[in-house]
Amino acid sequence: MTILVTGGAGFIGSNFVLDWLATCSEPVVNLDKLTYAGNLENLAELEGNPRHIFVQGDIGDTALVESLMREHQPRAVLNFAAESHVDRSIHGPEAFIQTNIVGTFRLLEAVRSWWGQLPADGKVRFRFLHVSTDEVYGSLEKTAPAFTESHSYEPNSPYSASKASSDHLVRAYHHTYGLPVLTTNCSNNYGPYHFPEKLIPLVIVNALSGKPLPVYGDGQQIRDWLYVKDHCAAIRRVLEAGVCGETYNVGGWNEKANLDIVTEVCALLDELRPREDGVHYRMQITHVPDRPGHDRRYAIDARKIERELHWRPAETFATGIRKTVQWYLDHPQWVANVQSGSYRDWVAQNYEGRPA
């Protein structure tokens, strides 16, 4: 048996592939377009591993996906492939429409065509697992209940709107065609191999470089933080025991304001890699104008996956963030290699060029 993973060289996808091959005997066909956030260095330890078959390609390439389905006959397709950064979606939304909506549609069509030709028992065993985000639910007031799976969709950015659209397509393919789908909506992930445009790795990298640590607005935007390897474990559990057509929210039970996250990372760096001049890293914090339409709070109610599938995160935020900071300290070459000129230009555009 084999599984097909899309977006398996990105942050969450590569962590999933690494953990899957470390814990399961089943091979992985890994399809990734290798855009700016897809990085084969994430998978370096799998070089020469016959159970990892990497294919560079686009989920929107129907002929390619159909050929991979025929050749490898996977029992499941797990769709991690997505454009996933809100700030980038504000600067250039079209890429998000193409990948997250059109790409998901074409992937579903290719999978449906192949699935429709399977014998009855193969159809029953097959799964299409779509990895999504809590951002599709919109923004919460500070005292409002956390998002449940029945919360209405109210996306507020081009990114979240494109992911909401892909979720609706996945749901429609189950109810219209009977495709056996599963959907997971996760909270903010953090951990190894996180591209350093996102908050936590950006803070670590900038702090060590002596650069400002940009915090949007007052820094009181609240998110639920989920260690990426906990997320991967949840996806494995949903694939194993989830009910077709169902959605499962995956959260870390760690609601924290962005400014508090930055401060905690600074405190860990003070302990693990103090500045030579003895100044605390928090002195590098700089508040910048908020981004347009910035959602104030996300919070995941993950009781359904705990109640029905008996999954709960293993890491607290304290244990997960310490592992994350230590990973970045131990992998300076990985950080240096992903910080290309185009990445530096984009950071300058997004933070330094932001209108007041």
Supply the residues annotated as catalytic: 134-135, 159
DSSP class per residue in 46-57: GTT-TTEEEEE-
Q: Which of 72, 170, 76 is nearest to 125 (CA)?
A: 76
CA distance 314 to 335: 27
Give the angle 124-30-63 at the CA atoms, nearest 5°.
Answer: 75
| Cα 56 → chain centroid | 19
Which three-class secondary structure string do you get for 102-143? Answer: HHHHHHHHHHHHHHCCCCHHHHHHCEEEEEEEHHHHCCCCCC
CA distance 351 to 10: 23
The CA distances from residue 8 to 76, 99, 168, in Å, are: 14, 15, 23
CA distance 28 to 143: 43
Q: Which of 141, 316, 304 is nearest to 226 (CA)?
A: 316
Are the beta carbons of 323 and 193 closer than 8 angstroms? Answer: no
The CA distances from residue 47 to 232, 301, 320, in Å, are: 21, 38, 27
CA distance 180 to 166: 16
CA distance 67 to 113: 11
With both helix axes pointing from N to C terminus, report the angle between 104-115 and 62-72 in degrees, rounded to the nearest 10.
40
Token pair 């009855």: residue: 120
Give the burial class of 136: count Cβ atoms within 10 A of its Cβ; 0-12 exposed, 13-18 middle, 19 or more buried: buried
